[in-house]
Amino acid sequence: MIERLLVTGGAGFLGSHLCDRLVDAGHDVLCVDNFFTGSRRNVAHLLRRSNFELMRHDVTFPLYVEVDRIFNLACPASPVHYQHDPVQTTKTSVHGAINMLGLAKRVKARILQASTSEVYGDPEQHPQTEAYWGRVNPIGLRSCYDEGKRCAETLFFDYHRQHRLDVKVARIFNTYGPRMQPDDGRVVSNFIMQALKGEDITIYGDGRQTRSFCYVDDLIGGLLALMDSPDGLTGPVNLGNPGEFTMLELAEKVLNLVGGRSRIAFHPLPQDDPRQRRPDITLARAELNWAPRVGLDDGLRETVDYFRRTWLDAA
């Protein structure tokens, strides 16, 4: 069935890939973005499609449109961007959630919240299951994002309980792929751009901290599966790749792909940087029949090719 779908943050890294899939499926897609971290170039190829519409709008202000489903992806997701204006980051998560939930309530739309593995903070449980409540510093440099997303989850479940709103909550773990910003401060884009430019590869701490990396195509498949799941599955549902790598291992993989003469340079670990992060995706496997398919080597190869084509000359 063809539906009218709203994607907030739709010109961003994840949002633009989601818009691609929805437009190709024949849905009418309204992409909303304030272009703080999103870019028109990410969706420029969709502007000629008759079932795609782009609107400049900030979700901290109400939006009055008629839609069947809402994907709420609006919020800067990298430390560089969300720490640039931490008050606005919290507003985007909290006021944005309130406004989108209010819209969903008015038009009786199903709404999906793009939450984050950052709700787990620096976890004491490893790997992290959805039942884990997290270990988050509420007054730290990362708390504008971590606590903003935690509050957004609270709002989603309160709207579900109080107003019987049809909600879905996805906890997204580290995701990478084409259309990442070259200067967004995320580890994959940092390592690739540094290697392409022959600069030192910057590793914070001793490099033994771990992350899990999910290729963007896999992640979008998980979001779509969750949105289409039965009413009883509200989430939260972890979406990510359970493969776990140290920062040193990731740096070595990037250097092997790019080549060159870059060396590894160690710097002090930032405040509240998690030591471990890996999703338990048992729930997603069982309820969504979803699991990532793209391995890190293959995904990095695609991502390096994208950065080389798109950003190297400009850099």
CB atoms within 10 A of CB 192: 26
Catalytic annotation on 306?
no
In eight-state DSSP terms, residue 276 is: -
Which tokens belong to 69?
Answer: 């489903």
Question: C-alpha distances in angstroms, 42 versus 71, 117, 125?
Answer: 17, 24, 36
Closest CA to 37 of 87, 77, 94: 77
Q: Are 200 and 145 in contact (CB under 8 A)?
A: no
Closest CA to 267 of 194, 309, 206: 206
* 116 vs 307: CA distance, rounded Å: 25
3-state helix, strand, coil in the chain (%, to 5): 40, 20, 45
Phi, psi of 48 (to 5 degrees): -85, -5
CB atoms within 10 A of CB 243: 13
* 64 vs 186: CA distance, rounded Å: 34
Which tokens belong to 52?
Answer: 């795609």
Active site residue: 82, 145, 176, 215, which one?
A: 145
Active site residues: 145
